Structure 1
């Protein structure tokens, strides 16, 4: 069925394609050229609710790092918990007495949640969706479901409600921002990362590469499961920590990093 430009823009196309009761429930193609109109409501890029009802959040927060005046750094690990790697990461962090933030997948919390049974109060456990979809392709209801399912399960498993959220692949659309904000979550990206592809053939180079990216307030992206090349970082995690300590960095969780930034901002405006 052909959808007119006006239907697409106003969301009326939802009814035209048989969507029941949802304004703008248009299934977008994987790739759209710049002349293809997007619906005002209901698309992944829309930061308003598809039924045009008022949002339950007044604002959204997206961060890439913290206070640049303090030599603090936050290590983060995505996609776990997983029995192959997460225990190795936790052991390395414990040996160096370093806290970290783990952005957990709901499906892995369901299957391997016990791996973080001792992390509460030491490390920070945050939301990374349930199935790791590309939320940049999904509407508000799908984004909300991925986020809410994960937060509920993490609260049931660990007794703590996550306050941070990281979108898979770092893809953020308006629908993702709205869903995260309404869930009371700060959206956390990163300002440095483990770039294993750049040190292929010379794995020890990962230490210098990460150190070269880190600045005061950096949030460092790594993973505690995934493709085998990521083990380059896991195997050298103690060396990475020691190198950053030699550079006078203190390790904190993301929430502690952001709290210090908020305090610094308040003091500067006081």
Structure 2
């Protein structure tokens, strides 16, 4: 008789959020599929759980997914955990769940912490309807297509972002979507948990001067019918016009920002990349 795959949520910061049921399941399964076995070991040691782990992450999911499924089909129970939060949410665990369901294996949720839901609950943004957008791609083409796809989205949107990519993401939001309200939620359940409700332009100005720290959940307001979401004039078109009039890139960007009411920092790098060879 086939075993069961348990999808087990783990703490996103505060270990007190690790549920008794989750601890019981990890103690009873035959093995654990972990995103990072080193992180998994710390959690297991903290709660005195001694179970073998197998690594299952983005770069080995195809090979390990079938192996795990075969072990479950042979009668073993497996718990799937990620480094923090709920597996399969913007996580390769969704592939393992798909494989197991395809094999007729029972998949059971052991719910608990999830950064997406936790952030929405404390952000004070409209969450009657929302959509989860995960991480923006670092690939320029995919990133641009993703942003274009959400230009007309009216629902509140939720993104995950790492601190070293935050400023670029905020700038790309502004260039594509125009001014929007945003809540930046970081370090959820940890000592430095913070919720900052502001606007994209204010967030860009702040993080240009203050390097961001911690993992972020970004809750971005959807398009409002009565608001014009983006400048009527493409900032790069205006920069190009001013360059033709003889201004330097720096002065052209400064004047464009003033005329269109956009943050200078949000357009400077793009202008430099596009026009620097023409000076």
Instruction: Using structure 1 for the length normalisation, give the TM-score.
Output: 0.28
Task: Flag the structure with more relative contact order, 1 or 2, with Cα contacts below 8 A and sequence separation at least 6.
Answer: 1
Instruction: Using structure 2 for the length normalisation, give the TM-score.
Output: 0.27
User: Which entry has the higher C-alpha Rg, 1 or 2?
Assistant: 2
